[in-house]
Structures are given as structure tokens and as C-alpha cells.
Amino acid sequence: MNTELTDAGTAFTDQPFHVMTKPIGPICNLDCTYCYYLHKEELYPRGNKWKMTDDCLESYIAQYIRSQPPGTSEITFAWQGGEPTLLGLDFFERCVEIQQKHERRGMSISNTLQTNGVLLDDDWCRFFLKHRFLIGLSIDGPADLHDEFRVDHQGAGSHSRVMAAMRKLRKFGVEYNALVVVNRHNGAHGGRIYRYLRDAGCRYVQFIPIVEKQGIGRHAETDAPLTGFTAFDKAQSAVSSRSVLPEQFGQFLIDVFDEWVQRDVGRVFVQIFDQALSAWVGVEPSLCVFRRTCGRALAMEHNGDVYSCDHFVEPEHLLGNVNVIPLEELVNSGQQQAFGDAKLETLPQYCLDCEVRHACNGECPKNRFLMTPDGAEGLNYLCAGYRAFFNHIDGPMQKMAQLLKQRRSPALIMEAARGKHTPGRNDPCPCGSGRKFKSCCQKNGS
Ligand code: SF4
Ligand code: SF4
């Protein structure tokens, strides 16, 4: 067992790990134009049944529970697709049954499920609520933005069906995250999308940039992976026309942040802002893309094949199959540690010298296909956007980090952000609780 310390000071094998499981492979009831996963059908032979067998499911669940590092008190199973609800409710009832059979004393088990929402009905919602599933609902904004790419197999937009699913989740009290894919089409509408989701009642929001590198694939004659780095100022030429532009993504996040920091801190949770606040407080972000190293977020196919990461479901990143090699061995293998360490080892000097490296860490290696302005390889395509965004939020983040260190509510930042004075004792509390300031944040130490 490799016990070498990572840069974060914890042995690789002692860090919790996470597996994104695809029990139905890439099969989906929508046909979103930018879906990176649909072409994975090519990885498995024709006639392949895209459904995890009961034996494989039980073996995986038992191993996932057993192989967590000692002292792990909470674990999460993450179900993704394709569209996992196509497997039917029976499949997930069985998952919960197996989890209960194998759970360890003192360990709490939870589940997340990513869905396009199209199939959600009352039965699904009752089940999610009963077993405390956290649902990730894909929505790219209002209809004119969402329906550009999120279409069904007949080419019809899916927005009204997704919003119906959101209403149903809310009616039943199921916890959900809105997951927005930021692309070239909706990328100029950060503020509008954020307000739309907030006003529709979303409390948790994630933004995922779509970056489709042109020429990804394999050389026709040699079968070698296509690589190559693009000059920093030619970034646009390296990606598809659907991909968000670096500066566009930065401005998108800035627009959302400026709205959020004035009125929604403590009420709406935007994943990248939470991650950034960790970095400003001095705690390494939990999301792999913003950590110095990665390698603890793996992906598993419907047949038990485990890959280094969801973004590297490719033959050269196949670690093995859980039905043949124990999951613990795959997760802690030298191959996997090398994969995770490469995130830091390949970071160009340009990033090492960057003033916002503590929050960005060069983001995901999947997107590192630019050359730095001084010609070194391996700069992230989104660099210009991240740099603008992280610099923009530096002031408010410093203030929020300071408030947290003083055990005061970061929501107090909102007054400063709006350029107003501290509220009076009987004024509504700026954190949005609906209570008076004196019986809320002021009482709690402000
Ligand atoms: S390659 Fe990217 S997405 Fe995959 S684990 Fe590393 S940082 Fe995360
Ligand atoms: S903002 Fe750019 S230079 Fe700075 S760490 Fe991120 S990718 Fe590197």
C-alpha cells in the first residue's frame, strides 16, 4: 500500500474517495447536443446490455462501503448516466436495500442522483424523500437558453418538462441542486440565469463550463490520442462553437457573484463560491477541480469497469473491473495515484506564480490544452476567465473569511456589498432570515 504523503499532507490512501456510477452507461431519453458522454457507446461492444446486473451492483456497494478509509463516518453513492431514472424505481429500491444490508455501524449512507427530470413523478419524489436522495437537476436557464441544446430525440426542447420536475421535487420537499451547463449560447446571461433559478426557488446551484476540445480523439493511422497545445491568444480556435469562451465564463461568474453577494449570501448556495470561500479561509477546496492534486473522484461503468475519472473514461485510464480486482486495490493503485499527482506535477510555472492559484490550482487537467503566454504547455483553456473571476471576488472573499474567523455570519458582507451602513437593531437582518437584526446575526456575534 502506498502511504506517500500528498501535497495536502494526507496520505493518498487515507483520503476519502468518491465513485460516480453509471448503472445505465450513456443511455439517455434526451439527446443534448453537447453531451460528452453519448459517444461512450463506442467503448462497449454492440449488443451490450446497458444495465448493471444485480450481482455487480451488490458487489460494488459492499466494496464501496468496505473500502472507505478508517474513520469515515459518511459516504455518498453518486448515480449518473445517461439518464439513471430509465432503470426504473425498482433498481434504486434495490440499491437502498443492498446499502442497508452492508452498512457499517456509525456510518451514514446517502445518495445523489443526476437527472434531466423528464421521468420524475410522484412515486420517484416519495422515494427520494423517504431515502433522502439529493437530486441534481440539469437546467440551463429560461426556455430560450435551455432549449438551445437540451433537446429530446425528436429535437424538441425539454425545458417545460424539467421545470415540471422541479416543481414536483419542491412540492414533495426533496433536496435538489440546479446544475447549469454554461455554454456559448447562455454564457452571456449569468445574472439572468441566476435570478431565474433563485426566483424559481433553487437554493443550491452549480455551474459547469462546457469545453469541447476540437480534435479530441485518436489519430486515424497510429491510434495515438490527439494532443497538441494552442497559443494562449488563439483559445477559441481550439474548441467547438458550443464551448463557452474563457472571458465569457469569467464574466458569467462575476455577474452571478455580484447579484449573490448583495442579497443571497446564506440563502442560496453556489458551489464555486463555497469552494472559493474555503480557499480564502485557508482550507483546501473539496471539489477535485480546485484541489492541488486529484485522483479520488473515479467513475464506474455499468459492467463494473472503473476509470480514473468521469472525464477520462478512455481505455488508457481504465483501472480494472470491480468484479475481478477489489475496488480498494483499484482506487489506491499506483496508476491512480500517478493520475492524481499529475494534476500538480504538470502545472506550468505560470500557474505556480499566479496570485489566485490557491483557489484555482489550474482547474481540471482535461481543460489544460493552451500554451502560457511565454510558451509553456499545459495552461487551462479557461484561465483568462478564472483569473478575472477570482481576482474580482478577492475583496469580498477576504471580508467573508475574516467574518468567519471572528465567528460572525458571512452574510454580513451583503451590507458592505450594497454600500450601505450596518443595519439598526430593529431592521430586517441582512442575512435574509426574516428576523430582526438584533435577534439574528447581531445576537450571534456581530
Ligand atoms: S481530472 Fe479533473 S474532473 Fe477528473 S478528478 Fe482530476 S480534477 Fe477532477
Ligand atoms: S487562473 Fe490561470 S494562471 Fe491562475 S492558476 Fe488558474 S489557470 Fe493557472
Nine-digit cell string for 98: 443492498
Instruction: Determine the Cα–Cα distance for residues 253 and 239; give it in Å rounded to an integer.
Output: 20
pLDDT digits (tens, 9 = 90+) for 17-38: 889 999 887 777 767 766 655 5
Nine-digit cell string for 441: 446575526
Return the percentage of the chain with pLDDT > 70, whole number: 86
Instruction: Determine the Cα–Cα distance for residues 187 and 257; give it in Å rounded to an integer.
Output: 14
Residues touching ligand 2 (Cβ under 6 Å) are 350-351, 354, 356-357, 360, 362-363, 380, 383, 386-387
Instruction: Determine the Cα–Cα distance for residues 424 and 124; give it in Å rounded to an integer.
Output: 46
Q: What pLDDT is attached to residue 82? A: 81
φ, ψ of residue 225 to 5 degrees: the values are -60, 140
Nine-digit cell string for 434: 426574516
Nine-digit cell string for 257: 457573484
Instruction: Determine the Cα–Cα distance for residues 278 and 203; give it in Å rounded to an integer.
Output: 19
**Helix (H) / strand (E) containing 177:** strand 176-182
Position 6 confidence tier, pLDDT thresholds 50, 70, 90: very low
Instruction: Determine the Cα–Cα distance for residues 174 and 129; give it in Å rounded to an integer.
Output: 5
Q: How is 280-339 classified by DSSP, letter by letter?
A: HHTS--SSGGGSSS---EEEE-TTSEEES-GGG-SGGGEEEETTTS-HHHHHTSHHHHHH
Instruction: Map residue 109 onto helix, strand or coil.
Output: strand
Instruction: Determine the Cα–Cα distance for residues 191 and 249; give it in Å rounded to an integer.
Output: 12
If you measure from the C-alpha of residue 368 to the centroid of ligand 2, how many angstroms do you get, rounded to a whole number?
10
**Helix (H) / strand (E) containing 191:** helix 190-199
Question: Mean pLDDT, to the nearest integer, of 421-436?
Answer: 64
pLDDT digits (tens, 9 = 90+) for 336-359: 999 999 999 999 999 999 999 999
Question: Mean pLDDT, to the nearest integer, of 175-183?
Answer: 96
Name the residue of 232, 292, 354 whose CB sits within 8 Å of the most ligand 2 atoms, as the mutation to test its pocket. 354
The closest residue, in CA terms, to atom 2 on ligand 1 is 364
pLDDT digits (tens, 9 = 90+) for 192-229: 999 999 999 999 999 999 998 876 554 455 555 556 78
Instruction: Determine the Cα–Cα distance for residues 211 and 34; give it in Å rounded to an integer.
Output: 9
If you measure from the C-alpha of residue 348 to the centroid of ligand 2, how many angstroms do you get, rounded to a whole number?
9
Nine-digit cell string for 271: 458551489
Residue 382 has pLDDT above 50, yes or no: yes
Residue 68 has pLDDT above 50, yes or no: yes
Residue 165 has pLDDT above 50, yes or no: yes
If you measure from the C-alpha of residue 378 to the centroid of ligand 1, how many angstroms do you get, rounded to a whole number?
15
- Nearest alpha carbon to residue 357 among 391, 392, 396, 381: 391
Nine-digit cell string for 67: 473500502
pLDDT digits (tens, 9 = 90+) for 105-138: 888 999 999 999 988 999 999 999 999 999 999 9
Residue 40 has pLDDT above 50, yes or no: yes
Instruction: Determine the Cα–Cα distance for residues 383 and 388; give it in Å rounded to an integer.
Output: 8
**Helix (H) / strand (E) containing 122:** helix 122-130
pLDDT digits (tens, 9 = 90+) for 268-291: 999 999 999 999 999 999 999 999
Position 154 confidence tier, pLDDT thresholds 50, 70, 90: confident
- The residue among 382 and 80 whose pLDDT is bigger is 382
Residues 6+ apart with CB under 8 A from 58: 98
Instruction: Map residue 79 onto helix, strand or coil.
Output: strand
Instruction: Determine the Cα–Cα distance for residues 146 and 186; give it in Å rounded to an integer.
Output: 8
Q: Which residues pair with 79 in a beta bridge?
A: 21, 113
Nearest ligand, CA 235: 2
Question: Mean pLDDT, to the nearest integer, of 244-249?
Answer: 97
DSSP letter, residue 440? T
Q: What pLDDT is attached to residue 415? A: 82
DSSP letter, residue 82? S
If you measure from the C-alpha of residue 366 to the centroid of ligand 1, how many angstroms do you get, rounded to a whole number?
7
Name the residue of 363, 369, 390 whose CB sits within 8 Å of the most ligand 2 atoms, as the mutation to test its pocket. 363
Q: What pLDDT is attached to residue 42? A: 64
Question: Mean pLDDT, to the nearest integer, of 51-64?
Answer: 94
Return the percentage of the chain with pLDDT > 90, whole number: 66
pLDDT digits (tens, 9 = 90+) for 395-411: 999 999 999 999 999 99
**Helix (H) / strand (E) containing 269:** strand 269-270
Instruction: Determine the Cα–Cα distance for residues 272 and 275; give it in Å rounded to an integer.
Output: 5
Q: What pLDDT is attached to residue 5? A: 42
Nearest ligand, CA 360: 2
Cβ–Cβ < 8 Å for 139, 180? yes
Nine-digit cell string for 133: 436522495
Q: What pLDDT is attached to residue 152? A: 76
Instruction: Determine the Cα–Cα distance for residues 135 and 177; give it in Å rounded to an integer.
Output: 6
- Tell me which residues are annotated as active site: 310
Atom of ligand 2 nearest to the CA of 372: 3
Instruction: Determine the Cα–Cα distance for residues 64 and 76; give it in Å rounded to an integer.
Output: 10
- Nearest alpha carbon to residue 376 among 397, 352, 407, 395: 352
Q: What pLDDT is attached to residue 4? A: 41
